[in-house]
Structure 1
């Protein structure tokens, strides 16, 4: 369990790297970001469909018929999608990383004014940014808890995604406040909510949830990851790409890398 928590923490801290790039006024190449985000999306999609969903069905099948187990896990899968969709709707577009990745410098006067007003009441920003990354922490924990090899692969994908997300969080804060320290720390705080999500997942595993119900959580985690990969990572990759097929090639490379790693770990 400690390993799963550490993996979630390290993945979350990758947002600090993005925040640091903003305050140091350094930029990653758009081609690199496009391929990296698509790589992370491909990895998360393959893990979700080939590892996490089947794992959830296996857990539920221990106490239900196979048909019932599949129905319950798929229902949880779509519930996970709905949860992340609701969270995403709570974020103002000018502060939502999934909306601004790839065009961080495009904030207009209206957005800047609104962000200044929001940032003065920092609790709102802390809440919505925290909710945005909370599901990723739960997903990383649940996956690492059952299979550390798969969990590390997922954590790497999340960390790759979190670097440009840190940029996307820090850029509007820096533009709105002119404060490098606030921009860096908001980026860091947005990532630190991932280990908080992992702690909640650990509490559910340890104290509240019978093992037979864990399959439902794995189904929900798979739904969260699929939505994040399709709605956020791939969308951001398309906005960053400078040539046709960069997103597709990156996604296929992510899938192939994870598939290879799973085969190698299974053979070991």
Structure 2
């Protein structure tokens, strides 16, 4: 393998591993703090919502428009978006819930239900981000191998916005399990989808991975992330921290993601 391959793969690997950086930064609190938890979940929702509507949907529409034209490209973008929502709803139904069928006044039982809810939330976030990171890693890798200076700027921007994405996975997992190690590894593994995407794309999918497939994947991922934000992250954040802190968390998350995306320009 030549030098450009190792350079491009190294950039993609480092960008993906920054989800682990996000988890490290978010795991400083040893004592349970519901307001901190709620604020960070709100921040995670802001990150997911902003990146979905400001970047991912736009990328999907551009790719699909190039293949199918303006009107059909827009239609397929919408279809992909709502297909992603439908897919995550079905996944939600397939993952067993441990909620009790009968109301239980026992405090430990209530706490167990809350932990299970947070754990499921972390798993959903990890799943959505891994799916998102797979084609993102391929795009970063291919940009770097074709134009190293452009690839470097893209990898840096991806690395920056992977940090808050790592928080989205680590925080609910940590508060559900009280295990920093487990929170870190889930976050870390979701970021590994980027270098894995680069390798699979380079060796296997280059002849199949065209703009249409890229667009459908990205529009579906946007739908998944929006659903998780609206149905899981924001309601859970409000439950722990209230409306005001949740809203500030969302706004800060959007601002962080907006700044990181400006690095692409």
> What is the TM-score of this pair, normalised by structure 1?
0.68
CA shift for structure 1 position 15 = 5.9
Give the unaligned 5+ runs of structure 2: 1-7, 100-105, 141-153
Of residues 68-77 and 251-260 in structure 1, the stretch that sits farther from structure 2 once superposed is 251-260
Aligned length: 228
Aligned to 1:4: 12
Q: Distance in 2 between matches of 1:211 and 1:106?
A: 53
Pair 1:107–1:59, CA change in 2 (3 A): farther
1:160 paired with 2:167, answer yes
1:43 paired with 2:25, answer no
1:205 paired with 2:201, answer yes
Q: Distance in 1 between matches of 2:107 and 2:23?
A: 20
Aligned to 1:93: 97
1:238 paired with 2:238, answer yes
Aligned to 1:253: 252
> What is the TM-score of this pair, normalised by structure 2?
0.68
Tell me the secondary structure at the aligned position of residue 162 of structure 1: helix
Q: Distance in 2 between matches of 1:35 and 1:20?
A: 14
CA shift for structure 1 position 66 = 1.1
Pair 1:153–1:106, CA change in 2 (3 A): farther
Of residues 81-90 and 130-139 in structure 1, the stretch that sits farther from structure 2 once superposed is 130-139
Pair 1:65–1:167, CA change in 2 (3 A): same
CA shift for structure 1 position 76 = 1.6
CA shift for structure 1 position 32 = 2.1
1:57 paired with 2:61, answer yes
Residue among 105, 109, 128 paired with 1:135: 128
CA shift for structure 1 position 233 = 2.0
Pair 1:16–1:90, CA change in 2 (3 A): farther
Give the unaligned 5+ runs of structure 1: 96-104, 116-124, 172-182
CA shift for structure 1 position 28 = 4.5
Pair 1:61–1:262, CA change in 2 (3 A): same
1:82 paired with 2:75, answer no
| 8 Å Cα contact 1:20-1:184 kept in structure 2 | no
Q: Distance in 1 between matches of 2:263 and 2:77?
A: 28
| 8 Å Cα contact 1:39-1:255 kept in structure 2 | yes
Aligned to 1:194: 190
Of residues 153-162 and 46-55 in structure 1, the stretch that sits farther from structure 2 once superposed is 153-162
Aligned to 1:177: none
| 8 Å Cα contact 1:134-1:193 kept in structure 2 | no
CA shift for structure 1 position 49 = 0.7
1:108 paired with 2:103, answer no
